[in-house]
A and B are shown apart, each in its own frame.
Chain A
Amino acid sequence: MTEIRWHSRAGQGAVSGAKGLGDVVATTGKEVQAFALYGSAKRGAALRAYNRIDDEQIFDHAKFMRPDYVLVIDPALALTDDITMNDKETTKYIITSHLSKDEVIASIPALQDKTDRVYVVDCVQISLDTIRRSMPNSPMLGAFCKISGMFELDYFLENMKRVLSKFPQKIIDANMEAITRAYNEVK
Chain B
Amino acid sequence: MQDLKLKAAEKRGAHQLGGDNLVGWDEVTQGIVLTSFDGDATGVSHKKAEERNYSDFNSYTATVASWRVMKPVFNIDVCIDCQNCWVWCPDSSILSRDKQMLGIDYDHCKGCEVCVEVCPTNPKSLLMFSEYEDLGNALASWPEKKKKEKK
The reply to whether A and B meet directly (CB within 8 Å) is: no
Q: Which residues of B contact A (CB under 8 A)?
A: none
